[in-house]
Amino acid sequence: MFAETPFVRDKRRSETTAKWVFFAMAGSMILPLLLIVVFLFVKAAPSLRVDFLLDIPRRGMTEGGIWPAFVGTIYLVFISLAVSAPIGILAAVYLNEYARDNWLNRLINLAVINLAGVPSIVHALFGLGAFVYAARFGYSILSASLTLAIMTLPVIIASTREALASVPMSFREACWNVGATRWQTIRSVVLPNSISGILTGVILQVSRAAGETAPIMFTGAVFFKAVQKGDLFAYNLNEQCMALSMHLYTISTQVPGVRESVPFATAVVLLGSVLLVNAAAIALRAHMRARKKW
Amino acid sequence: MSAGDTQPAAQFSFAVRHAKRPAWALIGERLLTALIYACGISAIFFVLSIFVFVFKEAAPVLFSDRFDLRQFLFSEQWYPTSEINKRYGVLAMTAGTFSVTALAMAIAVPFGLGAAIYVSEFCGPRLKETLKIIIELLAAIPSVVWGFIGLTVMSKLIVQFTGAPVGVNILNGGIILALMSVPIIVSIGEDALKAVPDSYREAGIALGATRWQLVWRVLLPAAKNGLLAAVLLGVGRAVGETMAVLMATGHAVKIPHSILDSVRTLTANIAAELGEAPADSDHYRVLFLIGVLLFTITFFVNLAADMAVRGIRKK
């Protein structure tokens, strides 16, 4: 064998150093997450039981559970996605299946990118101006959900487009060649082959919509609302509601004398549901990739 | 050979029979196509209406005599509820946004790009998948939870280690925002590195370059537009973030002098005061004007990021 020259040795050393430095950089961004999650769980432990989820806040929100906030978040998430998912999916179908490369579609792409970058508090201002005042929906679940819907729209468009673009062109061509129209091709070939990718994108937005606070703070979420313990049909569309994210903000900054474990438990429930939904989406995507035949 | 083959080709002409689809199906398809076009254009409509509605609420004060745009942008005096001396100057908040974002990027850009390089070039396929999933989960943590972490965990640590009087300050907000924007920088940065053709890597290895030399001399120059886009999107996220900075940076409306000063950002200012400002008052309209300012800043940051991405595609 050749003896290692100093030049080669330096090269090898710099290689190893670089590898470990980059590993440390990646690790130092990921380790805090794990530590924080563990810390939150430990702090929340005294309050974490099923009854915490089902009970209503008691004694001026310093004790008790989080049911009204939890169920309010469910309302907001499902109504907002019921609005944004169809619009977003159809918009992605337009951009991927119908659009040609012209100025209008470049403008639409630019709009989607910028819609995704609008700060959440500006969405709140828009929701307040457009839905609460101009459309006269008032401070309500409807206004808050529509605001959330517009916020989640660009990401649904982007993820659906990606799913549609992964369907090979030859599938479409085969379908067109037997005389199918553009829409027939989309319905019978493109959508069935991309549905799990589309679903993954929509599910990921469930967790995003559940976690947002700023857009609902001024359009429909309230500090406190009395509902029955464990009541699933607690709210009407035109009422205000409590929301988990808003509740966490309120009890950790605005309410004095809250028992220490209560905000931690609220944070754990919010974080836990968001991470669970995300993990489900990721599992669905992995399952779909394993089954993909092309 | 059958007799049929000898006959002239004209004999083969057959009537093309169109399968007649029922009228409702044809009309239905037309309507659906129209709906798809409408949804496609809706993104433009929504962006425009966000600007119009926010601007419409801000316009009356912007064009009134009581209001001075130069004072709005360049004065640090923010006394919206004063009886005799109302002042609407956002310089202190702009400085707050700028300082927190700058600190966050000073932490997040090197670490984010380092992590992107590690994930893309140095680790095995299995570890890569795991890391990408963790990064995706990191990106999903709601901003209010980050704010809560800043308020409870980080502030205590900061008081303990730096001896600062309050734990909610630029340092706290900067670290929290850095952790929040790292995932986006990593995922976009990794895409940018992945977009560099493998032939570049092969050429480098053929010349005897180590992977570090490859990264430093070949991949970083080749992917610089995509990496710039990753950084800009991180900046956009940090500037627009509301709840985390509202909870983690404190509420001092003044120009910061050190990293341990409390500040208030533009976004946090809207969130903190919108609930108390009476509708249609000057104060309320000025808050919408701050919204217009934020919209404009993020618009240009995102435009720049998009142009950087377009730069790689053209190559």
B172 and B50 together in one domain = no
Q: Are B125 and B254 in a shared domain?
A: yes
Say if residue B42 is in the same domain as residue B155. no
Cβ distance B29 to A217 less than 8 Å, yes or no, reads no
Tokens of B307: 């142009």
pLDDT at A86: 92
**Short-list B137, B169, B130, B193, CA closest to B248:** B169
Q: Is residue B77 part of a domain?
A: no
From the list B196, B218, B195, B192, the residue with the least C-alpha distance to B205 is: B218
Q: Which of residues B10, B37, B56 is at a domain's end?
A: B56
Q: How many residues does chain B have?
A: 315
Among candidates B32, B131, B140 on the partner chain, residue whose Cβ is nearest the Cβ of A26: B131
**Nearest-angstrom CA–CA distance, B108 and A143:** 35
Chain A residues inside the 8 Å CB shell of B117: 22
Residues paired with residue A221 on neighbouring β-strands, in sequence order: A241
Q: Is residue B306 part of a domain?
A: yes
Query: Which region among A62-66, A122-126, A182-186 has the lowest average model confidence (pLDDT)?
Result: A62-66
Mean pLDDT of chain B: 83
Average confidence (pLDDT) over A38-51: 80
User: Hey, are the CB atoms on A121 and B271 less than 8 Å from each other?
Assistant: yes
Q: Beta partners for A58?
A: A63
Same domain, B234 and B148: yes
* A181 to chain B, closest Cα gap in Å: 9
Q: Are B93 and B269 in contact (CB under 8 A)?
A: yes
B44 and B173 fall within a common domain: no
Q: For A62-101, write each residue's pLDDT tens digit.
A: 667 778 888 888 889 999 999 999 999 999 999 888 888 8
User: Residue with structure tokens 């989960």?
Assistant: B137
- DSSP reduced 3-state for A221: strand
Lowest-pLDDT choice from A56-60, B241-245, B249-253: A56-60
Residues A249, A8: Cα–Cα separation, whole Å: 57
DSSP letter at A46 equals G
Quote the radius of gyration of chain A (alpha carbons, Å). 24
CATH number at residue B110: 1.10.3720.10
Closest-CA residue of A relative to B178 is A29
Rounded CA gap, B99 and B44, in Å?
32
Average pLDDT rounded to a whole number, residues A123-142: 87
Contacts of B267 in chain A (CB under 8 A): 119, 121, 214
B75 within some domain = no
d(CA B296, CA B240): 11
A positions 43-102 inside 8 Å of B (CB): 86-88, 90-91, 93-95, 98-99
Identify whether residues B160 and B260 lie together within a single domain.
yes
How large is the average pLDDT for residues A162-181?
88
- Taking alpha carbons only, the member of A109, A83, A86 closest to residue A96 is A109
Neighbours of B157 (CB within 10 A): 12
Q: Distance between CA atoms of A266 and B314, rounded to whole angstroms? A: 48
Cα–Cα distance for residue pair A255/A236, rounded to 1 Å: 26
Mean pLDDT of A189-211: 87
Cα separation, B248 vs B174, in Å, equals 9
Q: What is the percentage of chain B residues whose pLDDT exceeds 90?
A: 7
Of B116-125, B136-145, B274-283, give the lowest mean pLDDT range.
Answer: B274-283
In the structure, what pLDDT confidence band is assigned to residue B4 with cuts at 50, 70 and 90? Answer: very low
d(CA B275, CA B113): 39
A149 band by pLDDT with thresholds 50, 70 and 90: very high
DSSP string, B78-123: EETT-SS--EE--HHHHHHHHHHHHHHHHHHHHHHHHHHHIIIIIS
> In this structure, are B181 and B105 located in the same domain?
yes
Using the beta-carbon criterion (under 8 Å), do B134 and A14 form an inter-chain contact?
A: no
| B106 pLDDT higher than 90 | yes
Residue A9 at interface with chain B, using a CB cutoff of 8 Å: no
Residue B63 falls inside a structural domain: no
Identify the band that residue B19 occupies on the pLDDT scale cut at 50, 70 and 90: low
Same domain, B243 and B158: yes
Interface residue of B36, B218, B286 to substitute, partner A, most A CBs within 10 Å:
B36
Same structural domain, B132 and B39:
no
Which residues 6+ apart lie within 8 Å of B198 measured at CB? none
Q: How many CA atoms lie within 13 A of B109 on its CB side?
A: 15
- Domain extents in chain A: 51-291
Q: Is the pLDDT of residue A131 over 60?
A: yes
Q: What is the pLDDT of residue A92?
A: 92
Q: Which CATH number fits domain A51-291: 1.10.3720.10, 3.40.640.10, 3.75.10.10, 1.20.120.80?
A: 1.10.3720.10
Residues B147, B244 contacting (CB under 8 angstroms): yes
Confidence of residue A156 (pLDDT cuts 50, 70, 90): very high
Examine the pLDDT at A251 and tell me if it is beyond 60.
yes
Kindly state whether residues B48 and B140 are assigned to the same domain.
no
Instruction: Determine whether the interchain pair A274/B140 forms a contact, defined as Cβ–Cβ distance below 8 Å.
Output: yes
Looking at the partner chain, which of A121, A128, A264 has a beta carbon nearest the beta carbon of B267?
A121
Report, as an integer, the average pLDDT of B140-146.
Answer: 89
Say if residue A243's pLDDT is above 90. no
* H helices present in A45-189, as ranges: 50-54, 67-93, 103-117, 120-127, 141-165, 169-177, 182-185
Contact between B152 and B197 under an 8 Å Cβ cutoff? The reply is no
A33/B contact by beta carbon, under 8 A: yes
Check residue B16 and give its pLDDT: 59
Average pLDDT over residues B249-258: 80
Q: In this predicted model, what pLDDT tens digit does every residue of B45-104 receive, in sequence order?
A: 999 999 998 898 888 878 877 777 777 777 777 777 777 777 787 888 888 889 999 999
- In b/e form, how buried is each residue of A131-168, taking b as 16+ CB within 10 angstroms? bbbeeebebbbbbbbbbbbbbbbbbbbbbbbbbbeebe
| pLDDT reported for residue B13 | 53
B250-267 b/e (C-beta count within 10 Å ≥ 16 → b):
bebbeebeeebbbbbbbb
Q: Are residues B47 and B193 in the same domain?
A: no
Q: Give the domain extent around B28.
A: 23-56
Which of A30, A114, A211 is nearest residue B302 as measured by Cβ atoms?
A: A114
Question: How far off is chain A from B219, nearest CA to CA, in Å?
Answer: 14
Question: How confident is the model at residue A36, as a pLDDT?
Answer: 82
Q: Report phi then psi at A57, rounded to 5.
A: -65, 140
How many distinct structural domains can be found in chain B? 2
